[in-house]
Amino acid sequence: MDLGTVVGLVLGMVLLTGSILVGGQIGIFINIPSLLITVGGTIAATFIRFSLADVLGSVNVAMKAFFYKLKPPEEVIQEIVTLANIARREGLLKLEKQPIEDPFLKKAIMFCVDGHEADFIEEVLSKELQLTSQRHETGINLFKSMGDAAPAFGMIGTLIGLVQMLTSMEDPKSIGPAMAVALLTTLYGAVLANLVFLPIADKLSLRSEEEQLNKKLIIEGVLGIQKGLNPRVLEEVLQTFLPPKKRKAAEAGE
Amino acid sequence: MSEKEARTHVRIDDRILLRFRRLTPEEFQEKMLRYRTGEESPWIDPLRPPGEARKLDYHLKKLREKNRDLAEVLEILALRMDRLLLDMKAEEIRREFREISANLSGAGLRVPLGERPQVGDLYELDIGLLPEYYFFRAYGEVVRLEDSEVAFRFVWITEDDQDRLVQHVFRKQILQIQISRRAVEK
């Protein structure tokens, strides 16, 4: 589970609710028609922009931001170096029996064990990396577009409210409450966009980058294993993929 | 290799070019001293100056990232030029080296030497890896005698040459796996 996402979301909600409670009643901030316009409109626009499968799968994609915990790249490097040592000592065929959790790494190692050429391995794995990146991009774009649509529908809701208010101006006392309700949709849209949709899109983007880094490490590492590179040299090559701070931490960990 | 010995490198059966010379421990120490002081170089490759192969690999790798096709073409050209140079040196190589079967690893080799040394004897081993004709010098200690074959453990080999040797072993390993796989498919 990704604590950062949960903490951020809960903290945002608590702070918003807290500030509302300090200023008065929470009841005046709840309005079902406004909620329907904002949420419903956003979902409707998303259905138009994306395929049905993408929208229905968006819940699973969003779950990635909350529950998907990726292996740190330092650990991926260590696993590759361990495999390189085994291959150097026992031969490539011994790698077949190694317990490997990551399906991408497992697949890459099986290519080595099957005796495929480096060019083939690199081409197939790079293609898979590219396609994974494209799939991630769809999920990210979906939440970004929801982040765009939510404030827009909030504004649409406000306009609807204003039109309704302006058509019945007989009682000046009702203008204030009607205006407040009209503005609620804008609030809902802004909150949904800036506290839910856009942060999830950014988190998914970060996850995608992390996953791509791990996959790049695996491709480079497996090509090194297949070539018979010295594990120490291979580790140094893979360390260059890490930012300097992480590189130092990994060296200290040794 | 006995069960008790810890294996450090994978082994393959291969054909190599070999030139050897038995050394006394004093001669070996003298050689080491001369290498350390720079009076003599362990480099024996008739085609490539020391470190050139590694430098070429490094630059080709960098070039491959930018222009894969150009890197591939240049690598093929380099190999062809190596072959031309080899043809010029062929007579000399044939005269000095014997092509023999060997059980090869990054830590040592087992070869039919044609003479019967004692366990513990030291040898200067000049090895040529085929088909790339990469030549290097190593020093081996006799660790076992098996029928007509002598097993050596390298007591001195440059890290560059050992890495190159391991990479050669891996390359051959992949070829052997491919052949086995094809046989199974048939």
Domain boundaries, chain B: 10-36+98-185, 47-96
Q: How far is CA A245 from CA A26, A74, A217, A240, A251, in A?
A: 46, 11, 17, 11, 10
Domain count, chain A: 1
- Structure letter (DSSP) for residue B38: T
Q: Cα angle vertex B57, ends B54, B61, to 5°?
A: 145
Name beta bridge partners: B122: B23, B141
Q: Is B22:B125 a contact under the CB 8 Å cutoff?
A: no
Residue B113 token pair:
């030497």
Q: Is residue A86 part of a domain?
A: yes
Tokens representing B87?
């043809």
Tell me the per-residue pLDDT of B16-29, one tens digit each, with 9 for 90 and over: 999 999 999 999 99
- Is the pTM higher than 0.75? The answer reads yes
Taking each helix axis as running N to C, give the angle between helix A118-167 and helix A103-113, from 0 to 180 degrees, rounded to the nearest 10: 160
Q: Residue A90 is nearest to which of B10, B159, B180, comparing CB atoms?
A: B10
In chain A, which residue ranges form alpha helices assigned H by DSSP? Answer: 3-23, 32-35, 41-49, 52-56, 58-67, 73-90, 103-113, 118-167, 175-191, 198-227, 231-239, 244-253
Q: Do B181 and A115 touch (CB under 8 A)?
A: yes
Residue pair A142/A247 in contact (Cβ under 8 Å)? The answer is no
B86 touching chain A per CB within 8 A: no
- B116-159 pLDDT, tens per residue? 899 999 999 999 998 888 899 999 999 999 888 999 999 999 98
Q: What class, spelled out in words, does domain B10-36+98-185 have in CATH?
A: mainly beta
Q: Where does residue B148 rank: exposed (0-12), middle (13-18), buried (19+ CB within 10 A)?
A: exposed
> What pLDDT shows up at residue B51?
77
Domain-embedded: residue A71: yes
Mean pLDDT of chain A: 89
Please give the Cα distance from B22 to B139 (Å, whole number): 10
Asked whether residue A254 carries a pLDDT value surpassing 80, the answer given is no
Each residue's pLDDT tens digit, A189-212: 999 999 999 999 999 899 899 999
Which residue range(s) make up the domain with A88?
A: 35-241
Helical (H) or strand (E) element with B27: helix B25-37
Residues of A with CB under 8 A from a CB of B: 87-93, 113-115, 117, 226-230, 233
Q: Do A89 and B174 lie within an 8 Å CB cutoff? A: no
CA quadruple A46, A50, A53, A54: dihedral sign: negative
Q: What phi and psi values does residue B139 have, to the nearest 5 degrees?
A: -120, 130
Query: Across the interface, which of A114, A117, A227 has its CB nearest the CB of B181?
Result: A114
Look at residue A12 and tell me if it is in a domain. Answer: no
Ramachandran angles phi, psi of A34, nearest 5°: -60, -40
Q: Hey, are the CB atoms on A228 and B171 less than 8 Å from each other? A: yes
DSSP letters of B68-130? Answer: HHHHHHHHHHHHHHHHHHHHHHHHHHHHH-EEEEEEEESSEEEE--SS---TT-EEEEEEEET
